Amino acid sequence: MATQAHSLSYSGCNFLRQRLVLSTLSGRPVKIRKIRARDDNPGLRDFEASFIRLLDKVTNGSRIEINQTGTTLYYQPGLLYGGSLEHDCSVLRGIGYYLESLLCLAPFMKHPLRIVLRGVTNDQVDPSVDVLKATALPLLKQFGIDGESFELKVVRRGMPPGGGGEVFFSCPVRKILKPIQLIDPGKIKRIRGMAYSVRVSPQMANRIVDSARSILNKFLPDIYIYTDHMKGINSGKSPGFGLSLVAETTNGTFLSAELASNPQGQGAAMLPEDLGRNCARLLLEEIYRGGCVDSTNQSLALLLMTLGQQDVSKVLLGPLSPYTIEFLRHLKSFFQIMFKIETKPCGEELKGGDKVLMTCVGIGFSNLSKTLK
């Protein structure tokens, strides 16, 4: 089937991950031209090449062709294979950059995925491993992806620019996904957080916690922020500190925010007090945006709804991020699926920003390569 499907062509380096992940799931080849063609340094960047190598590891029989300058990429996906793997991620981007795509692909492998990723665990660009663990894993569980082998843990923490972090991720395979109805986010009942510091004084983490609490305690009593100070080899190669916060609602929705300090030698030094306060404000902004899925995981929720059984799935989201809007266009190209989008202005019962109710009928995607036991 995959061979007859005509290939899709795009130009530019934007949304490269989206295109390659959807190509892998739909079996449709994709050709991407003019990747930074006018740049002083044209072609694929190191972190994108590393991402393509990772895709090659988790699939079997993929065909990848890149021209000499790296400005054109042809990708014909193979079967998702899985198994036990290791991958050294580029330190230019966080492990979250690679993990977000693995979360989309892992449930549809032939063998359960068990992978060790090395690189930067927390940076200022990509979602950190802590936030993905607190928000993306519960979201996958809503779709019926669960089990003892479903885990994500930080073995070592690594900050940019040196990296040196290590993360273990394992995920069971599923033949089909459950449709979902996530339309009532519920009220915030507790906030949990993780303040981490590596290769700096452990006192930094405590200062972050105090300043974050100074803002959040006005709203809610049930706040607990753990401090995580890794020493020696587990602390990676570069100094840094940061905070990730997650608010949980009565209906099991998780909304997250995070901040990390500037990488060593880049930008002005940041006080832990400022970082704690700013992160708390970011969390309040995310709660204001609201919805049943936070803005980091909007595209993951929409993808799993698309691949669900031929039944109606609904999810209430906050304002759609530009990344999610482009993702909806790609879903239409690869899977010919359209979402019904209804705006829900904030009325009496809905506090915060305007919400969007996304409805679709799944395409009935089933994992044919899953070995039957």
* pLDDT the model gives residue 345: 78
Tell me which of 230, 262, 289 is where a domain ends: 289
Q: Is residue 138 part of a domain?
A: no
pLDDT per residue as tens digits for the range 275-320 = 999 999 999 999 999 899 999 999 999 999 999 999 999 999 999 9
Residue 336 tokens read as 């010919």
Cα dihedral 234, 235, 238, 243 in deg (nearest 10):
130
What CATH number corresponds to the domain at position 222? 3.30.360.20
Q: Is residue 104 part of a domain?
A: no
Integer CA distances (angstroms), 225 to 15, 151, 207, 330, 348, in order = 34, 21, 12, 38, 32
Q: Is residue 170 part of a domain?
A: no
Tell me which of 270, 289, 308 is where a domain ends: 289
Looking at the fold, whether 241 and 260 belong to one and the same domain comes out as yes
**Which residues constitute the domain of residue 28?**
1-80
pLDDT confidence bin for 118, thresholds 50/70/90: very high
Looking at the fold, whether 213 and 285 belong to one and the same domain comes out as yes
* pLDDT the model gives residue 1: 36
Looking at the fold, whether 350 and 257 belong to one and the same domain comes out as no
What CATH number corresponds to the domain at position 28? 3.30.110
Q: Is residue 133 part of a domain?
A: no
Looking at the fold, whether 315 and 331 belong to one and the same domain comes out as yes
Q: Is residue 17 part of a domain?
A: yes
How many separate domains does the chain show?
3
Q: Is residue 193 part of a domain?
A: yes
pLDDT per residue as tens digits for the range 129-153 = 999 999 999 999 999 998 888 999 9
* pLDDT the model gives residue 6: 78
Q: Is residue 163 part of a domain?
A: no
Looking at the fold, whether 303 and 351 belong to one and the same domain comes out as yes
pTM above 0.75, yes or no: yes
Looking at the fold, whether 270 and 302 belong to one and the same domain comes out as no
Q: Is residue 266 part of a domain?
A: yes
pLDDT confidence bin for 368, thresholds 50/70/90: confident
- Residue 304's SS3 state is helix
CA distance 67 to 356: 42
Locate the DSSP E strands across 120-276. 151-156, 165-171, 181-182, 188-198, 223-230, 240-249, 254-260
pLDDT for residue 212 is more than 60? yes
Looking at the fold, whether 285 and 298 belong to one and the same domain comes out as no
Tell me which of 289, 308, 333 is where a domain ends: 289
CA neighbours within 13 Å on the CB side: how many for 321?
Answer: 16
Looking at the fold, whether 243 and 325 belong to one and the same domain comes out as no
* pLDDT the model gives residue 147: 84
* pLDDT the model gives residue 369: 67
Q: CA 354, 178, 115 angle in degrees (round to 5)? A: 95
Looking at the fold, whether 261 and 299 belong to one and the same domain comes out as no
Dihedrals phi, psi of 106, to nearest 5 degrees: -55, -40
